[in-house]
Amino acid sequence: MINLILLTRSDKQNPADFEEIRSHICERAQDIKVHIIDAKSHLWPLACDVSGHPTMTVSPMPLRNFKSPRGPVFQGFEFPKGDQYSRLVKIGIPVPDWQRIEPDTKLDPDRWGPYVVVKPELGRKGAGIQIKRTTRVKYKPSDLFPDRHPGRKAPMLAQRFVYTGPWPCCYRVVTLFGKALLSWYCEVDHSFRSLNSRFDFKALGGITIVSNKRTSTYRLAFDEDVIAFAEAAHAAFPDQALLGHDVVRDHDTGDLFMLECNPRGDTWLFSSYAGIEIQKANGIDFYAQFSGLSHAANVLIDEARRGAG
């Protein structure tokens, strides 16, 4: 018997999703016993159940208190963006050129172009991201940023700007052990001023370079090249079960670039607060796109049989 321990957090996922996954696994794999654990609980009566049997633990989010009794553990982890980029480049996944902004940083417009993206190494939901003239990018000590700015917690990065079209757009592909569970395309709402060419930032007012705003438009995406790109990128994070890949396509060349993989794991968009709001506002169904929970069950069966120890 193989033990598969799944950890959930009710503030990040609906536990009913994992009950349904367990039901699918029980129907298809009688050699696997699934244990569902509340990650915030302190009562985990597992030791007798798993003693002496191959076991694998899967937690989308980082583990805090729970200690797996045996076997490999796959859990979320917050890698800084620079660390993500280094891992991705190592396996051949293209990312936009980048560098940390340090006291001696001076960027050459001949290499970077007239404008670059400035973003925090640790940041979420587009916070702290802005476009700047390349010649004006300067180091700023962390204590000079406003109190809640992510630049107080980690370095800022300069990154080559990828032009995705008149209005910023991107893809999000959620993968479980390298298999896509859902994929969306989002585009910022057209109340923002359009960027009609790559560096048309002369009048910056009204322009945004962040696509995933509350008022953005979302649709299910089935682009095979984007999905394959994200699935390949998962190999850079072999110890993280769940990733949410942010992929952009260059409007002029069609080239794909990875912006980040969100390896912390709070990307269970079937039933997270953000995921529910996006589905309601746009009339889409992440569960139905690829039969997500049934597909997740098949992925977990394969991984448990291959990797439990």
Chain centroid to CA 219: 17
Domains in the chain with CATH codes:
2-75+291-307 (3.40.50), 77-95+162-264 (3.30.470.20), 97-161 (3.30.1490)
Cβ-count burial of 25 within 10 angstroms (0-12 exposed, 13-18 middle, 19+ buried)?
A: buried
Determine contact, residues 101/155, Cβ cutoff 8 Å: yes
d(CA 122, CA 143) in angstroms, rounded, equals 16
Q: Are 248 and 257 in contact (CB under 8 A)?
A: yes
Task: Give every CB contact of residue 213 below 8 A, 6+ residues apart in sequence.
Answer: 126, 188, 189
- Residue 153, burial from CB neighbour count under 10 angstroms (0-12, 13-18, 19+): middle
Q: For residue 147, how many other CB atoms are within 10 A of its CB?
A: 5
pLDDT string in tens for the chain (309-residue length): 899 999 999 889 999 999 999 999 999 999 999 999 988 776 666 655 666 789 999 999 998 888 888 899 999 999 999 999 999 999 999 999 999 999 999 999 999 999 999 999 887 666 778 899 999 999 888 777 877 787 777 889 999 999 999 999 999 999 999 999 999 999 999 988 889 888 888 765 557 788 888 889 999 999 999 999 999 999 999 999 999 999 999 999 999 999 999 999 999 999 999 999 999 999 999 999 999 999 999 999 999 999 876
In a 13 Å sphere around the CA of 140, the CA atoms on its Cβ side amount to 20
- Predicted local distance difference test score (pLDDT) of residue 221: 98
Share of the chain above pLDDT 90, in %: 72
User: What pTM value is reported for the model?
Assistant: 0.94
